[in-house]
Amino acid sequence: MVDAVVFDMDGVIVDSEQVWEDVRKELVADWGGRDTPGAQRAMMGMSSPEWSRYMHEELGLPQTPEEISDEVVRRMLRRYHAELPLVESALDVIRELAKRTRLAVASSSNRPLIDAVLETAGIATCFAVTVSSEEVPRGKPSPDVYLEAARRLRVAPDRCVAIEDSANGILAAHAAGMFVIAYPNRHYPPGPAAVRRADAVIDSLEALQSTIADAGREWEGRRSPTRLDT
């Protein structure tokens, strides 16, 4: 039996990675930084202190990481308020799952963005717990945000299913010892090495409920958790 389901947000609930890329590129251009190929992929999964420091140090923005983070969040909120790019079927799947099991969000997004997405989408009450990686010591691929979600749920990590779209997210959930369902991001697909760490792979959220049911049946035979080196 599955005790809890933990969702990533960007790429799983909202199709937002390209929005993040647009906002960051716009900010780099506006503030006189340098556009570096692969920057968005490098920042996927980082906590806000980590990616804002990356933009300051690697992309050459002269503002402080705190100023960079605040401005990115402001621009992301403006985009979300104009149009929330929900993943197809996400709302129906989440509402149905919430009737059967406890749900959480473990996201690299800043707290204001998590709250705005869930409230705007009308699903905030579906989640017993939400955690931002800015609230834990390390972002993904470290397992901190998933371990904190499990702690707040009062559920053992190895009794949780995690749904992830990115390489760093898959690695984080795997390192936390959760049963990992990969829903590969169509804009920035995770590499095969990361996908191999997932316990199951789906190509649409409609397949999520049956895959979670399979996880519950297989639970007792799954591997011991493997953690990332610190």
What's the DSSP call for residue 76? H
* The model scores a pTM over 0.85: yes
Give the domain-ending residue among 42, 57, 82.
Answer: 82
Token readout for 123 is 């699903």
Q: Which residues pair with 14 in a beta bridge?
A: 10, 86
| Rounded Cα gap, residues 136 and 225, in angstroms | 20
The structural domain count of the chain equals 2
| Rounded Cα gap, residues 185 and 14, in angstroms | 11
Q: Tally DSSP H helices, then E strands, for the chain.
A: 10, 6
Q: Is the bond leading into 141 cis (omega within 30 degrees of zero)? A: yes
Domain identity same for 70 and 23: yes
Domain identity same for 194 and 94: yes
Full domain range(s) for residue 132: 4-15+85-221
| Rounded Cα gap, residues 123 and 47, in angstroms | 23
Domain identity same for 78 and 94: no
The CATH number of residue 111's host domain is 3.40.50.1000
Domain identity same for 174 and 212: yes
Q: Is the residue at 98 inside a domain?
A: yes
Q: Which residues pair with 114 in a beta bridge?
A: none
Given this model, what pLDDT does residue 228 score? Answer: 43
Please list the rounded mean pLDDT of every run of 10 residues in the chain (230 residues).
Answer: 93 95 96 90 89 96 97 97 96 97 97 98 98 95 98 96 96 97 94 96 94 77 46
Domain identity same for 175 and 190: yes
- Cα–Cα distances (Å) from 221 to 201, 204, 217, in that order, read 18, 26, 9
Q: Is the residue at 226 inside a domain?
A: no
Angle of the 111-121 helix axis to the 65-82 helix axis, nearest 10: 10
Given this model, what pLDDT does residue 225 score? Answer: 45
Domain identity same for 111 and 213: yes
Domain identity same for 11 and 21: no
Give the domain-ending residue among 28, 47, 82.
Answer: 82
| Rounded Cα gap, residues 64 and 57, in angstroms | 10
CB 85 within 8 A of CB 12: no
Given this model, what pLDDT does residue 37 score? Answer: 85
Q: Is the residue at 38 inside a domain?
A: yes
Domain identity same for 51 and 92: no
| Rounded Cα gap, residues 164 and 150, in angstroms | 16
Given this model, what pLDDT does residue 227 score? Answer: 41
Q: Is the residue at 229 inside a domain?
A: no
Domain identity same for 103 and 21: no
Domain identity same for 91 and 156: yes
Q: Is the residue at 185 inside a domain?
A: yes
Using only C-alpha atoms, the chain has a radius of gyration, in whole angstroms, of 17
Domain identity same for 64 and 90: no
Given this model, what pLDDT does residue 2 score? Answer: 85
Domain identity same for 11 and 70: no
Give the domain-ending residue among 59, 82, 105.
Answer: 82
Given this model, what pLDDT does residue 222 score? Answer: 52
The CATH number of residue 38's host domain is 1.10.150
